[in-house]
Structure 1
Amino acid sequence: MRYIIALLICLSTPAVAEPLRILAIGDSILAWHKWTGRDIPSEMGSILGAEVQNDAVAGARFSNASTLGRAAGFDVRAQFRRGPWDIVLMNGGANDFLADCGCNACDTVLDGLIAADLTGEVATMIAEVLTSGVEVVWMGYYASARSGQFTGCRPYLVEYDARLARLADQTPGLTFIDSEAAVDRDDRSLFAFDGIHPSPKGAQRIGAYLAQSLTQ
């Protein structure tokens, strides 16, 4: 994956005039600040010299979205569309735990998203996205400064990310990058007012970490 990303960056020089193209889909962690261009995908794209389309939607999830919700992008699966993308940056799942089990006794929800045998809704979607010929980068969740309404979700999200990392280890074209490696939960300047979403500084740090992880 990193060799492919490095090759794409080389092909994005002015002589070729074909920038790297990134589609971002997921929930509010990726969507935060997108209207000001200071969101995680845009910060990542700036370092990679890429064109970024951020279609992530705050509140989006994988399961049980209404028909209207799917049309509005509240179903992560509905956010994806085939196009001239080189990379699809993805996240999501936290809102499923919040909406479907209230972050309490969520084993069934976890297994529905991605089970211990690495099957489930998220694994199925990743496989479908990969059939379009793109590279998929999954961004794992970080520990936030405060849990808020997501109190109780942390153990499930840790296991969720661990399963996605294992899936990436055995899936060509899929890379898992844990954003927690870029975020110090004790540094309040990295978080927005709610203590959950990234501040512009936090988004920049995570975006830079994603870009660096892909090119190392």
Structure 2
Amino acid sequence: MRLAFAFLLIGLVAACGRGVPEGARLVVAGDSVMAWNRTQDASVARNLSRLLGQPVGDVSLPFASVTGSTGRGALNITEQVSDLSPRWVVMNGGANDLRVGCSGPDTRGTLDTLISEDGRSGAIPRMVSGLRVRGSNVLWADYYTSPRFAGTTCGRIYDEMAARTERMAAADPGIVFVDMGDVVPFSNGALFARDQIHPSVEGSARIARQIAEALRAADPALTR
């Protein structure tokens, strides 16, 4: 009960500061990796806003899932982006569908529900396709490996999800794929919060710098 209450409290606090400023050409969506450090004004979205010199929307929320397995509304990443059509949506997702530690009774079946082996079907491609149809470009930020799951079966499941989402991105020039593990290696404990899962303030800053560089390369006019 105490743990559930703690999760609820974290979620309520992290929800503060969510929203999309008028005229924002960039919106961040997804789960706690994106939302973490928001209360310290140091989330991925806040760092992106400073790096790119423009307002950045943020609809991400801890415990959010792609399929809505953790809840409706903002806890469903598909619903987070259902009415969005900015120039770019930066997003992640899937971890809470797979559950912490990949502890679901059918983890591989969940992965297949999220995204097929060829990256062309499943909940993630449908969600991204909806954004593309509305004219948005998408930057998909693949998960880093956290110290708690490095070398585990769960880590291998995430590696497979990364390969599938990278195939999805390769099939559409309007989708950019970045691997957060390139800038947040599990061997550097300073880049992780105390839970050894979420990013520290510096971890979020590194992720934002990586994303900003990828956006500048893909769309030089974005910062004009």
The alignment's TM-score, normalised by the length of structure 1, stands at 0.82
Q: Which moved more, 1:24-33 or 1:82-91?
A: 82-91
Aligned with 2:56: secondary structure? strand
1:133-172 matches, cutoff 5 A: 133-147=135-149, 152-172=153-173
Q: How far did residue 103 of structure 1 move?
A: 5.3
How far did residue 21 of structure 1 move?
A: 2.1
Are 1:100 and 1:109, in contact at CA under 8 Å, matched by a contact in 2? no
Show CA shifts across 1:112-137 (max 9, x none). Answer: 10011321011011000111111110
Following TM superposition, by how much is the alpha carbon of 1:28 offset from its aligned partner in structure 2, in angstroms?
A: 0.4
Q: How does 1:70-89 map onto structure 2 within 5 Å?
A: 70-71=72-73, 73-83=74-84, 85-89=86-90
Question: Against the structure 1 CA distance between its residues 105 and 125, is the aligned structure 2 distance closer, same or farther, given a 3 Å change threshold?
Answer: same
Residue 3 of structure 2 corresponds to none
Task: Name the aligned partner's letter for residue 34 of structure 1.
Answer: R
Percent identical pairs in the alignment equals 32
Instruction: Report Cα offsets for 1:153-204 as digits up to 9, x if no partner.
Output: 2111111111111111111311111111111212111111101100101110
Gaps of 5+ in 1: 1-17
Secondary structure of the equivalent of 1:112? helix
Give the drift of 1:93: 0.2
> Is the 2:192–2:199 Cα contact (8 Å) retained in structure 1?
yes
Query: How much does 1:84 deviate?
Result: 5.9
Q: CA deviation at 1:138?
A: 0.4
Task: Give distance in 2, aligned partners of 1:70 and 1:48.
Answer: 31
Secondary structure at the aligned position of 2:67 is classed as coil
Which whole-Å CA distance do the structure 1 matches of 2:204 and 2:68 have between them? 29
Within a 5 Å distance, the mapping from 1:32-111 to structure 2 comes to: 32-65=36-69, 69-71=71-73, 73-83=74-84, 85-98=86-99, 102=103, 106-111=107-112
- Cα pair 1:90 1:136 within 8 Å, conserved: yes
**Contact 2:166 2:177 (C-alpha < 8 Å) held by counterparts:** yes
1:25 is aligned to 29
State the one-letter code of the partner of 1:178.
Answer: D
- Of residues 192-201 and 34-43 in structure 1, the stretch that sits farther from structure 2 once superposed is 34-43
Tell me the SS of whatever aligns to 1:165: helix
The alignment partner of 2:99 has SS state of helix
Counterparts of 2:101 and 2:155, CA distance in 1: 15
Superposition CA RMSD, Å? 2.3
For 1:122, the equivalent position in structure 2 comes to 124
In structure 2, the CA distance between the partners of 1:100 and 1:197, relative to structure 1 (3 Å rule), is: closer
**Matched pairs, number:** 194
Q: State the distance in 2 between where 1:19 and 1:128 align.
A: 20
1: CA distance, partners of 2:87 / 2:171: 20
Contact between 1:103 and 1:152, CA under 8 Å: does it hold in 2?
Answer: no
Greater relative contact order (Cα < 8 A, sep 6+): 1
Rounded to whole Å, the distance in 2 between the matches of 1:202 and 1:29 is 10
User: What amino acid is aligned across from residue 77 of structure 1 in structure 2?
Assistant: T
Q: What is the identity, as a one-letter code, of the residue corresponding to 1:116?
A: E
Query: Using a 3 Å threshold, how does the CA distance of structure 1 residues 209 and 19 change in structure 2: closer, same or farther?
Result: farther
- TM-score relative to the length of structure 2: 0.79
